[in-house]
Amino acid sequence: MPPPLAQPEPNPSPSSDGDTALSSAVDAIITRFDAVNAVRDHAVGTGRQIVRCSANAVRALHREDHDEAHALLATAAELLAGVRASTAAFPTIASAGYVQDAAKEYAEAAITASLLQNRPIPGPAALTVDDAAWLNGLAEAGSELRRDVLDRLRADRPEDAERLLAQMDAIYAVLVTVDFPDAITGGLRRTTDQFRAVLERTRGDVTLSIRQQRLERALARHEATMELGRSAER
């Protein structure tokens, strides 16, 4: 009779030392992930607050309520500084879209405040925001001026409207010189194209308004001259 087939030996079970090392490695990763997740959650939540404060600051600026705008901007700046500090050790979170969007909204509000008050525009270092966030905030601040231009026209303040339009022109002139891939600029080309459309509509509105005002003044002068002539004839 043939000899019986040898039975395969069972696989050796992992040693207890191996189990301990594996568990320790995973536990360490989980600990690190917990820390990253906590920082991310804080950045997301705080970013929403920054966006709200910045949006409310812009609305206050449109109402020419500069005190409220400055208070909201101060709050947004403080919150952004906190996000910067908490994400300093986590570059992936610091460069994430939700952090950059919050920085862009803050930059937009701060730049809008400077433009409406005819003050020098603060640069990215002064606002502690990245270059791409600052450039996109600058473009959106330029677009925000459209509402203020129209408000000045309705309030019969054409000189202020023309000043704001000149600021919009100056902003567009520098933005079109930034020619880099969107991955570097954060989609600046698209934001600049949108701003250009807003600028052209605003320029048309200002031109029509000024022409109408000139025509009205000319008619008023003509009527006054005619009235003087009739008075002289009488």
DSSP H helices, the chain, are: 16-62, 66-86, 91-94, 97-116, 124-127, 131-154, 158-175, 182-185, 188-233
C-alpha–C-alpha distance, residues 111 and 219, integer Å: 40
Q: Using alpha carbons, select from 76, 85, 87 the residue that is nearest to residue 109.
A: 76
pLDDT value of residue 35? 92
CA distance 204 to 184: 33
CB burial class (10 A; 0-12, 13-18, 19+) of residue 218? Answer: exposed
Going 190 to 191 to 196 to 202, the CA torsion angle's sign is positive
pLDDT, position 210: 80
Give per-residue pLDDT as tens, 7-63.
Answer: 545 554 555 666 888 999 999 999 999 999 999 999 999 999 999 999 999 999 999
Q: Amino acid letter at 225?
A: T
Q: Residue 146: what pLDDT?
A: 96
pLDDT of residue 234: 67
Low-confidence residues of the chain, pLDDT below 50? 1-2, 5, 8, 12
DSSP annotation of 234 reads: -
Domains of the chain: 23-128 (1.20.58.2140), 130-234 (1.20.58.2140)
The total of other beta-carbon atoms located within 10 Å of residue 227's CB is 10
Please state, in angstroms and rounded to a whole number, the distance separating the CA atoms of residues 160 and 178: 28
The CA radius of gyration of the chain, in Å to the nearest whole number, is 31
Give dist(CA 141, CA 203) in Å, integer. Answer: 16
Q: What's the pTM?
A: 0.82
d(CA 40, CA 137): 23
Phi, psi of 121 (to 5 degrees): -75, 125
